[in-house]
Structures are given as C-alpha cells and as structure tokens.
Amino acid sequence: MKTSKRKRGLLLFSLIVFVLIINLIVVASQDAPVAPGTTAPVAESSETDSGDE
C-alpha cells in the first residue's frame, strides 16, 4: 500500500514538473523575440505565430 501511494505521488510530482518545464519553454520562446539582439528567432517566430493563428 505504501509503495503504490508513493509511486502515485512521484508520478503526480513528475507530471507537475513536466508541465512546468513545458510552460517555461513556451514562455522563453515567446520572450526570446522580444529580447534585443535576437534577429534570427524573430523571423522563425513570425512564421510560427502566423501559422498558429
């Protein structure tokens, strides 16, 4: 019983960490074009943004 509860907690924890990391990556890729001196990412980001919308 203890092991299964611990496993479930670990699974939940890793899931939360996974989601947090994805959120960080998404935010970072959105903020990258805003940062000065990033010309290449801006061009790529423009194509991606127009594709999403």
Could you report the per-residue pLDDT of 1-53, keeping only the tens digit for each? 677 888 999 999 999 999 999 999 988 887 656 555 555 554 555 555 555 54
Q: Which residues contact 38 (CB under 8 A, 6 or more apart)?
A: 32
pLDDT value at position 37? 56
DSSP structural state of residue 38: -
Could you report the per-residue pLDDT of 7-20, keeping only the tens digit for each? 999 999 999 999 99
Q: Which residues contact 44 (CB under 8 A, 6 or more apart)?
A: none
CA distance 41 to 29: 9
Is the pTM value of this prediction over 0.75? no
